[in-house]
């Protein structure tokens, strides 16, 4: 695990951008493509400046973009993670539209999850997906994707994409990647800023144990690297030894 502390959220975005540049370049050279899953919340805006700085150096035509979770709303709705990413990212970086995998908002949550699983299969077939990079945020309750503390979806072992209709955070209907998919990624980068996250960070980076672990702390990759990109406010309860 790598913990990278920056002084401001803009510098957090820049640091994440450098990781994305490195992984994208290496992976496209090796495999001819770069598969990434994005989240919503504050993440797209934080990423924006980091990606703007490297947009002329990255071959975005080789990117295949999915969403770690999505709200069951239209793509134009203000709650849509797709809309947040489009406005902050897709409108200024040249990813082919056919390689940005959004939801079919006309479907019910369960049907939407099945349909999104088929979209994963366009890249990985029936195999367990292995993303080159999953970019995640963390809520003040320790949730990530749409995996919430105490929810039955934390125990899902079979589905790659699951629906949730009782999210404790509105909107209540969502779909989400499950632990098996996230934990099979080659790289996961968490981005967390602000004093509201400070109390949780020691738990997330393995310094403080909780039983049961909060969802974001339960991301444990089978064969990959986890990064935490945080600002000074979020790092307030970390010792210098725990920082990069």
- What is the Cα–Cα distance from 216 to 218, expressed in whole angstroms? 5
Question: Is the pLDDT reported for residue 190 higher than 70?
Answer: yes
Query: Coil, strand or helix: which one is 137?
Result: coil
- What is the Cα–Cα distance from 192 to 12, expressed in whole angstroms? 9
Which residue(s) pair with 4 in the sheet? 229
Query: Coil, strand or helix: which one is 100?
Result: strand
Average of per-residue pLDDT values in the chain = 96
Q: pLDDT per residue over 194-208, tens digit each?
A: 999 999 999 999 888
Here the tokens at position 70 are 């999505």
Question: Is the pLDDT reported for residue 244 higher than 70?
Answer: no
Q: Please state, for a pLDDT cut of 70, what percent of the chain lies above it.
A: 99
Structure letter (DSSP) for residue 86:
I
Q: pLDDT per residue over 113-172, tens digit each?
A: 999 999 999 999 999 999 999 999 999 999 999 999 999 999 999 999 999 999 999 999
Give, to the nearest 10 degrees, the angle between helix 43-54 and helix 9-31: 60
Which pLDDT score is estimated for 99?
98
Q: pLDDT per residue over 36-81, tens digit each?
A: 999 999 999 999 989 989 999 999 999 999 999 999 999 999 999 9
Query: Binning pLDDT at 50, 70 and 90, where does residue 240 land?
Result: confident
How remote is the C-alpha of 168 from its chain's centroid?
19
What CATH number is given for 2-242 in this structure? 3.40.50.1360
User: What's the pTM value of the predicted model, to 2 decimals?
Assistant: 0.96
If one counts every other C-beta atom within 10 angstroms of the C-beta of residue 192, the result is 29
Here the tokens at position 177 are 């990647």
């Amino acid at each position: 695990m790598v913990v990278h502390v920056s002084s401001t959220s803009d510098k957090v975005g820049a640091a994440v951008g450098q990781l994305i540049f490195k992984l994208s370049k290496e992976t496209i050279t090796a495999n001819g493509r770069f598969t990434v899953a994005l989240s919503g919340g504050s993440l797209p805006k934080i990423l924006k400046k980091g990606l703007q700085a490297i947009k002329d150096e990255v071959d975005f035509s080789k990117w295949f973009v999915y969403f770690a979770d999505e709200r069951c709303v239209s793509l134009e709705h203000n709650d849509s993670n797709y809309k947040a990413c489009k406005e902050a990212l897709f409108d200024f970086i040249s990813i082919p539209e056919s390689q940005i995998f959004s939801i079919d908002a006309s479907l019910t949550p369960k049907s939407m999850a099945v349909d999104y699983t088929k979209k994963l299969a366009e890249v990985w077939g029936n195999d367990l997906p292995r993303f080159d990079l999953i970019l995640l945020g963390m809520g003040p309750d320790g949730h990530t994707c749409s995996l919430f503390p105490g929810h039955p979806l934390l125990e899902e072992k079979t589905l790659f994409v699951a629906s949730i209709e009782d999210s404790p955070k509105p909107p209540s209907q969502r779909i989400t990647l499950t632990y098996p998919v996230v934990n099979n990624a080659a790289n996961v980068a968490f981005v967390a800023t602000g004093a509201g996250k400070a109390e949780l960070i020691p738990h997330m980076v393995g310094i403080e144990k909780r039983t049961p672990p909060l969802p974001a702390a339960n991301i444990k990759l089978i064969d990959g690297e986890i990064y935490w990109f945080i600002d000074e406010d979020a790092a307030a309860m970390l010792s210098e030894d725990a920082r990069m």
